[in-house]
Structure 1
C-alpha cells in the first residue's frame, strides 16, 4: 500500500478493510461520492473518532496510586496494570517501585516484594499470580466456614424450638385444657 499512496481511488477502496464495528458502520453510511480524496476521507475519519483516543499518563500517575481499603489484590493489580499501560516510556524497574509503594503494606506479597524485588512488571505479574490464587482460595475457605457456621446456628435454633415446652398462648387455649 505504501507504493500506492498517491492512488486515491485504491486507497479509498482499501481503507474500510481496516475497520470494524461502529467505525465500519460510519464508513458504510457515508454518501456515495462524498469524498474528494483519500486525504479528505482521513480528515473526516479523524474528526469523527478524535475523542476516542486513549489519554496518555505520566509516571506520576503510577506514584500517586494506592490500593484501596478492602480492595482485593487482583482488582488492584488489574487497575495498576491498566494505568501502567497508558504511561509512555516507563522504565520497568520504576513501575515495580511504584507498585510497591501503591500496594497495602504488611501483606504476604508486599513482604515478598521487599525481600526479592522483581526487575520488571512481567516478573512481578508472574509472581502475583500465585498470590491471587492464594487470596481466592482464602476467600473461598472463608465463605465455606461462614456457610457451616450459619448451618450449625440454624440447626441449633431448630433443636431449641423442638425442646421448648409448649405453653398455651391465649386464654382460649387455657379453657380447652
Structure 2
C-alpha cells in the first residue's frame, strides 16, 4: 500500500485529491477501495469530518470527490494567471540575480503560463534606467530564456564592479589608518586600562562624547564595541579618538590620579592633536 501525506483540513482540498488519485493510480478501478483508503489519508479535523458522513451516504468515489472539496472549499488556492507577473517589480536594493530568482519562483506557480506575457512582465519589472532594460526592449525576438541569460551576465558584471569598488575603497583607507596609528606610542601611560577611565569620567558635566562614526556599517567588526563612540568596529582601549581626547583631559589636569608615575609624560611638542 502506498505511503500518504496526511490532509488535516487546512490546505487546498483539490491538491490533496489530485495527489491521492495519482498515488492510487493502480487501484482506480476499485471504487470501494478508493473510498476506504481515502479515509486513511485524513487527520485531525478532516478525519472528524469524514466520520460525520452518514452510513451509505456516499455511493462512489466520484461522489466523495465532489463532497470532500466542497467541504473545504474555503482552503482552495487562488489560481494565478500570467498577468500576475506584472506585479513583480525589482526593488531598488535588490540585485538582478535575486530579482531573476524571485521572478522564476512566481512564474513556476502559474500553470500554463503565457511565455510572451512572462517575457513582457520580466522586462517591465526592471527600472527603465537599468542597462538590462534597454537591452531587452531593443532586442528583437528575445525569448524568456535568453532574457534570463542576459540578466545573469549583468549580475556578474554588477558583482565585478562592486568588488572593484570595495577594493579601491580599501586601498584608499589603508594609508590613512597607517598614518593615524603610527602615533600611538606618544600617548601618556596610565595605571589602569583606558576603558576603565572612560567609565569613571563619562558622567562628569564637562565630558563630551564624540559624534557617531561615519563608515560602512557592513564592514565593521561586530564582535568589538567602543563605549566612547557607542558603536561597533573596535574596542574602547584601542580607540584612537578616545586616546586623543584622554590626552587633552590629562593636559587639563583631570586624569592625574590615573597617571603612571614610573614613566615620563610626552613633552608638549609631542602631544597628539585632537582630530575632528
Correspondent of 1:157 among 177, 180, 183? 180
CA drift at 1:10: 9.1
CA displacement 1:11-40 (0-9 Å, x = unmatched): 988xx9xxxxxxx9x7xxx9xxx9xxx897
CA drift at 1:161: 5.1
Q: Give 5+ residue unaligned stretches, structure 1.
A: 17-23
Structure 2 distance, partners of 1:149, 1:52, is 58
Alignment partner, residue 119 of structure 2: 96
CA drift at 1:160: 5.4
CA drift at 1:73: 0.8
Correspondent of 2:134 among 111, 119, 130? 111
Instruction: Give RMSD over aligned pairs.
Output: 4.2
Alignment CA distance shift 1:6-1:165 (3 Å): closer
Q: Give 5+ residue unaligned stretches, structure 2.
A: 1-24, 52-60, 189-246, 266-276
Question: Contact between 1:57 and 1:87, CA under 8 Å: does it hold in 2?
Answer: yes
Alignment CA distance shift 1:3-1:93 (3 Å): same
Q: Which has the higher contact order (CA 8 A, sep 6+)?
A: 1
TM-score (norm 2): 0.44
CA drift at 1:118: 4.9
Alignment partner, residue 5 of structure 1: 29
Structure 1 distance, partners of 2:28, 2:144, is 41
Alignment CA distance shift 1:107-1:92 (3 Å): same
CA drift at 1:7: 7.1
Question: Contact between 1:109 and 1:131, CA under 8 Å: does it hold in 2?
Answer: yes
| Moved segments of 4+, more than 6 Å | 10-13, 164-168
Alignment partner, residue 17 of structure 2: none
Structure 1 distance, partners of 2:129, 2:155, is 16
CA drift at 1:103: 0.4
Work out the number of aligned pairs and report it. Answer: 165
Structure 1 distance, partners of 2:32, 2:116, is 47
TM-score (norm 1): 0.61
* Residue 93 (structure 2) pairs with residue 70 (structure 1): yes
